[in-house]
Structures are given as structure tokens and as C-alpha cells.
Amino acid sequence: MEITVRNCKRIKVKQIVDEKDGILSIVECMNEIPFKINRSFWISGFEYPKAKRGFHAHKKLEQAIFCISGSFKMMIDDGETKQHLILNNPNLGVYIGPQVWHTMFEFSTDCIIVVLASDYYCESDYIRNYNDFLHYVGRGKKI
């Protein structure tokens, strides 16, 4: 499925298949990853089947999200267009640019998510309330 949500796109990972010796997956800064990587984090240990993560957007941060084991679902929303994605392939990630509301759910127990981010952790870059997000992207209801 083509991604039409603003500031989002698929990332195809470079892959070297070493037959019985495994698969080498490679991304490089400014090649597959369209920003300078300043932070990386990974998420694992999905024991609770109803686990949900995300529920925020970033003002400036850019992220590249990969599911390197198992699977999970993601909802991305630019305030106008929403899309549901399934991440279940270590060689196909997703770029989430600034001002994209995203939620993650339906993680398999073996799911491992790797995130590459353009900047250090900064809580003031988060928008954690959906109405605030809509206002931020110019889509809030006028009262």
C-alpha cells in the first residue's frame, strides 16, 4: 500500500542475503535514512497482548521505525489523512517525519522495534494530546 500521509514514507533497507548464514540489513545516514541519526532506541518484551504505544506526534523530530522481529500495526495520521500499516518485514521500515500522530498496537510477543531518531530525547518536542495536535497542524475545531 502506498503511503499518502504527509511527512511519511516507506524505507527500503539494503539487504545482503548470505544464504544459510543469515541476512545482513543495512541503512546509512542520508542514504536510506533521510536525516542525521542522533539517537536510537529499541522496544521489546511484548507480553501483554493489548499493549499500545505512541499516541503522540513530534513537532520537529524525524524517526525511522523498523520491526526487526515479529510484527505490529501502526496508525499514522497527519490531521487529515489516516493510514493503517503492518510492519512485519525487517527490510521495510517507515519514515515518520514531524507532525504525524502515530499509535502502535497488536504487537506479536516476539516483536522487536528499532527506532532511529534525528535528535536527542526532548519532552517539549512531544504533542501528547490529539486536540492539541489538530490545532498544531491547523486542523483544530474553532470554538
Is residue 53 at the binding interface for ligand TYD, with CB under 6 A as the rule? yes
Q: Taking CB under 6 A as the criterion, which residues in 102-141 touch ligand TYD?
A: 121
Distance CA 117, CA 121 (A): 9
Q: Are 93 and 25 in contact (CB under 8 A)?
A: no
User: Measured from the CB of residue 55, what is the shortest distance to ligand TYD in angstroms?
Assistant: 7
Q: Are 74 and 5 in contact (CB under 8 A)?
A: no
- Is the Cβ of residue 19 or residue 72 nearer to ligand TYD in the bound state? 72
Of the candidate spans 11-19, 48-56, 64-72, 73-81, the one that interacts with ligand TYD by CB under 6 A turns out to be 48-56
Distance CA 13, CA 93 (A): 7
Distance CA 36, CA 50 (A): 33
Distance CA 105, CA 67 (A): 12
Is residue 54 at the binding interface for ligand TYD, with CB under 6 A as the rule? yes
Q: Which of 56, 84, 102, 135 is catalytic?
A: 56
Q: Are 100 and 121 in contact (CB under 8 A)?
A: no
**What track of x and - describes contact with ligand TYD for positions 7 through 46 (by CB under 6 A)?**
--------------------------------x-x-x---
Cell of 37: 541519526
56 is catalytic: yes
What are the residue numbers of the active site?
A: 56
Site residues for ligand TYD per CB under 6 A: 39, 41, 43, 53-54, 56, 121
